[in-house]
């Protein structure tokens, strides 16, 4: 669909993005809360002491794989190309877990919810984690890891 980027899925991306945005809007207008996955996951597991009621956090986090499973059933399976070894998953997971708690949010809380609110804090956080991601992958490519 995009001639210069044959692997891109712009239409699926836009529709899926709208679904994510409506989901975050349901959290905001229904429950008065930010749909921030890192914060809700920390709350659901009891790692965070403050935040959403635990029942709400657990319900949201359980919903994530449930919704993905439904789409996988409807579409006949979705592609999930994971790193080939466990090492990037472990190192990446540790950094994502620690970093999102220290920085108070991830792609959903700062990215989707905070940027659409024009929160300066979220605009800065999102710019930094995007830049950090670009640099990290560039370094991985330079080092022959990709």
Partner 1 sequence: MRQISVALFAGALFGAGLAFSGMADPARVQGFLDLFGHWDPTLAFVMGGAMIPMAVAWIIQRRLDKPFADAHFSLPGTTLIDGKLTIGAVLFGAGWGISGLCPGPGFADLAINPLPALAFVGALLAGMIVHRVTS
Site for partner 1 in 72-101 (CB under 8 A): 72, 75, 78-83, 86, 88-101
Check binding of 43 to partner 1 (CB under 8 A).
Answer: no
Residue 123, both tokens: 């605009």
- How many residues touch partner 1 (CB under 8 A)? 112
Report the C-alpha dihedral over residues 116, 31, 64, 115, rounded to 10 degrees: 10
Instruction: Give the one residue of 3, 27, 76, 143 binding partner 1; rule: CB under 8 A.
Output: 27
Q: How long, in residues, is the chain?
A: 146
Check binding of 54 to partner 1 (CB under 8 A).
Answer: no
Taking the complex as a whole, how short is the minimal distance between the CB of residue 119 and partner 1, in angstroms?
8
Report the C-alpha dihedral over residues 47, 53, 54, 58, rounded to 10 degrees: -110
- The helix or strand, by DSSP H or E, that contains position 72, with its residue range, turns out to be helix 54-75
Check binding of 3 to partner 1 (CB under 8 A).
Answer: no
């Amino acid at each position: 669909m995009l001639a210069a980027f044959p692997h891109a899925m712009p239409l699926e991306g836009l529709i899926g993005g709208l679904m994510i945005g409506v989901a975050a809007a349901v959290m905001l207008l229904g429950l008065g809360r930010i749909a921030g996955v890192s914060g809700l996951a920390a709350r659901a597991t009891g790692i965070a002491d403050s935040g959403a009621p635990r029942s709400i956090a657990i319900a949201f986090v359980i919903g994530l794989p449930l919704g993905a499973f439904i789409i996988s059933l409807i579409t006949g399976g979705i592609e999930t190309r994971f790193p080939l070894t466990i090492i990037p998953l472990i190192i990446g997971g540790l950094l994502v877990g620690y970093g999102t708690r220290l920085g108070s949010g991830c792609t959903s809380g700062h990215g989707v919810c905070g940027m659409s609110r024009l929160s300066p804090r979220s605009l800065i956080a999102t710019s930094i984690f995007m830049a950090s991601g670009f640099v990290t992958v560039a370094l991985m490519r330079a080092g022959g890891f990709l």
